[in-house]
A and B are shown apart, each in its own frame.
Chain A
């Protein structure tokens, strides 16, 4: 019976004893708790896995189908209905970049201005301010095609009548993402503690000086992140641009207020509906190109946020 007292056995006895002691004190954990916890956790992981699998398979499939055209021509060449094997996204890429620049130039001052008004000047208890707030929330959920019709009726034709040009696309996309930018900017402005405003006002700064020199610089990282995410969304929109004249196969480089233009998502769509196999390949290659551009923009947003993030 000597070998029964070996160290492993003693350890086992000790741990059994410890477990018994713990159970006497705290009670045994109900079996149901363990099971339901496990089930819940598995379901969450499954949900995450589904999202990831979709995304990864999309990228892999597009890369596989578009592999033959992941070349420099795809980026620089003009689109063509006749020779898809040499055609590319040059004008469309440039059109998208022009349009996005326009969106940034328009959406930043308007979006931030509206957010500053709502957060810093508007009196919450006035009915018209509440109405504006409610409508901005609703506007963020309006389908993009509706903005396309608005752009066609009021900007391309109608009172503004710019025609079917890049600027029209820019303005339409600006209207589309403006609510998102306003909401993001408001969040960022609201996150600046009131004590900062008080400190500034107590020094004899005016309200405008306080906003422009304290509140906006402190809110800038949050605002920037919101702007970049909104712009990334604008970049990927095809539906409203189809209505305001983004052409499929324009060989010309776009001008702001004149001539035909195209955009990446629209060009991808036009290529995808062509019957020949080479067009399909080109469309998949376009998907990869757009994903790369979007990923670059999102990475930039994350980098900005991390770089300027503040804590109070």
Chain B
């Protein structure tokens, strides 16, 4: 079964694609994890990747800033164009890619340092010039965290609540002023109140950044995203081979109210998955 390719000619004129994925497949060794995904991701939008466990949405996300390179034997086929340039060209250093494309992880992973040093680490490492206090303050304000922590910037980040830690990780990511922020299930370890704050923050951040978010939570995708991609697990001929495929990619509204593919309908209405 071929995934349905959705063309967006109607919108292409007004939207600028930041990522263009052309027949992207990701392998771990000989095992295929993601098969033949083609999609465009647009500037200043929130794009959600949804689908059941094991459908390869995190793998796909990690191929957008070359984090998969850290896994031995991981391999990407096809083309990932970032602003028109092939991200996997041998001349591209993954470190340069990650400077432009930040990432927030599933579990908050602050560094075992002070709140201030957590935010300042990126700018310092990248050799950003300017007043570091100002950079830190701007990033913390951007992550809606400044008022919570301005009096304890020297405290260890591990003393913060889970939700605050995750916002600190967002602050850390935006401190280096990337163009894109990838979020891998950023709220899965958080309570509903913290989740709500992160979602509000995402809506604010999309004015300045392009956001791609993987989520297990369909309501979250419906609440925050502009575009939604639905991926599904495909079983191969034998029991052991299974991979993720893009089923449908469209405006979030349409995915949740009037999807073109029956499988999407079944998933978003809770009948499967």
**Chain A residues within 8 Å of B, Cβ to Cβ:** 123, 193, 195-196, 198-206, 209, 213-214, 217-218, 310-312
Nearest chain B residue, comparing its CB with the CB of A310: B112
- The answer for the CA separation of A202 and B122 in the assembled complex, in Å, is 9
Q: Do A203 and B102 contact each other (CB < 8 Å), given the known contacts A195-B107, A195-B109, A310-B112?
A: yes
Asked if residues B126 and A200 are in contact (CB atoms below 8 Å), the reply is no
Distance (whole angstroms) from the CB of A310 to the closest CB of chain B: 5
B107 neighbours in A (Cβ, 8 Å): 195
Q: Is the interface of A mostly helix, strand, loop or mixed?
A: helix
- The answer for the CA separation of A312 and B109 in the assembled complex, in Å, is 9
A195 neighbours in B (Cβ, 8 Å): 105, 107, 109
B100 neighbours in A (Cβ, 8 Å): 204
A311 neighbours in B (Cβ, 8 Å): 158
B210, CB-defined interface residue at 8 Å: no
B173, CB-defined interface residue at 8 Å: yes
Asked if residues A203 and B122 are in contact (CB atoms below 8 Å), the reply is yes
Nearest chain B residue, comparing its CB with the CB of A192: B112
A198 neighbours in B (Cβ, 8 Å): 67, 70, 105, 109
- The answer for the CA separation of A202 and B176 in the assembled complex, in Å, is 11
Q: Do A209 and B125 contact each other (CB < 8 Å), given the known contacts A199-B105, A203-B172?
A: yes
Nearest chain A residue, comparing its CB with the CB of B69: A201
**14 chain-A/chain-B pairs, Cβ below 8 angstroms:** A198-B105, A201-B98, A202-B98, A203-B99, A203-B102, A204-B98, A204-B99, A204-B100, A204-B122, A205-B122, A205-B126, A213-B125, A214-B121, A217-B112
Asked if residues B125 and A202 are in contact (CB atoms below 8 Å), the reply is no
Chain B, residues 175-195, CB within 8 Å of chain A (1/0): the string is: 010000000000000000000
- The answer for the CA separation of A283 and B67 in the assembled complex, in Å, is 62
- The answer for the CA separation of A217 and B158 in the assembled complex, in Å, is 16
B95, CB-defined interface residue at 8 Å: yes
A209 neighbours in B (Cβ, 8 Å): 125
B65, CB-defined interface residue at 8 Å: yes
Nearest chain B residue, comparing its CB with the CB of A218: B112
- The answer for the CA separation of A123 and B99 in the assembled complex, in Å, is 26
Asked if residues B111 and A202 are in contact (CB atoms below 8 Å), the reply is no
Asked if residues A199 and B169 are in contact (CB atoms below 8 Å), the reply is yes
Asked if residues A213 and B121 are in contact (CB atoms below 8 Å), the reply is yes
Name which of A199, A202, A213, A218 has the most chain B CB atoms within 10 A of its CB: A202
Distance (whole angstroms) from the CB of A8 to the closest CB of chain B: 53
The 9 closest A-B pairs by CB, nearest first: A204-B99, A195-B109, A202-B103, A203-B122, A204-B98, A199-B109, A205-B125, A310-B112, A206-B95
